[in-house]
Amino acid sequence: MRVGLLEDDVAIQEMLLLVLQDEGHSVLSFSTAEECLEALNSPDLLPVDLMIVDWRLGGSTFGTEVIRQIRNDPRFQSLPIILTTAASLQDNEELQDFQVALLEKPFSVDEMISLINELTDS
């Protein structure tokens, strides 16, 4: 499976990259919203099967803005997305509109893998 990973914290990004690769996934990792959106809009990019997006990115862009742009693209309207966050967003109505799975930090590797398998029926 091909996974897109948008995480600006280098340590978390590297950890998730290793975990996902150990699980047999191909990973496209991005450190900024701009990198991610540029790649997803590229006609040369192979489709991703799942996106993992951090909510609070460095700079002025939130992960929800990235998700909004992803969801506005017909190619990605049904793409499974996991939003990771250290904030409590359980009652956030915007997230319901985006149809994302929420994974609160700190999370375990097993939680991440279980959620990926649940979303992709692996």
> Mean pLDDT, 10 residues at a time, over the chain (122 residues)?
94 95 95 91 82 85 88 89 80 70 90 94 72
- Residue 93: per-residue pLDDT: 66
Fold (CATH) for 14-86+94-120: Rossmann fold (3.40.50)
Beta strands in the chain (DSSP E): 2-6, 26-30, 50-54, 81-85, 101-104
Question: How far is Cα 65 from Cα 33, in angstroms, rounded to an integer?
Answer: 9
- Residue 67: per-residue pLDDT: 92
- Residue 116: per-residue pLDDT: 95
- Residue 111: per-residue pLDDT: 94
Domain ranges of the chain: 14-86+94-120
